[in-house]
Amino acid sequence: MANGWASQNWPSTPGIITLSEIGMNNSVPLDTGVRKKSDATFYAKVEYDFTVEGKNYSGYKVSFGEYADIKREHAERVLQPYTVGKTVPIFYNPKSHRQAVLEPGLHGYPWLFLIGAMIFLPMGPLMAKYFPKPSPRQTKQQD
């Protein structure tokens, strides 16, 4: 998430898309050992070349927080603006030029984790305060 926030202020340079295709991961549920069609997830596989201060770099990250989805359409939507040979702005880390991204900021699931943490983290102390602790006698009876 920190990289996503920071990337909003990164400089950009023109780059060329060198690869744009849909990748697929196949997973096998551990409990069954059998793969079903629905176990596949699709993701946007993009690679690009760019130059900063006369030095050539390659990158592959579309955005921070990118994710695979069971719907192929998601990957197709991500790939739409990134056709091979197209010149696009590449946002790069000014302190480490190798770290680059096509879409600065946070995208996808990181927001869910942040919201979930903000909701559920305070619950631990509240539960500790308001739920009664078992008495030593109750603990002995359970043993």
131 in a domain, yes or no?
Answer: no
Cα 93 to Cα 99: distance, rounded to the nearest angstrom: 6
21 in a domain, yes or no?
Answer: yes
The residue segments making up the domain with residue 48 are 2-121
Instruction: Give first-to-last CA distance, the chain, whole Å.
Output: 45
136 in a domain, yes or no?
Answer: no
Longest dimension (CA), the chain: 74
Residue 15, pLDDT above cutoff 70: yes
Number of domains in the chain: 1
57 in a domain, yes or no?
Answer: yes
61 in a domain, yes or no?
Answer: yes
Convert the pLDDT of each residue in 101-134 to its tens digit: 999 987 555 555 556 556 666 766 766 667 766 6
135 in a domain, yes or no?
Answer: no
- Cβ pair 46, 17 in contact under 8 A: yes
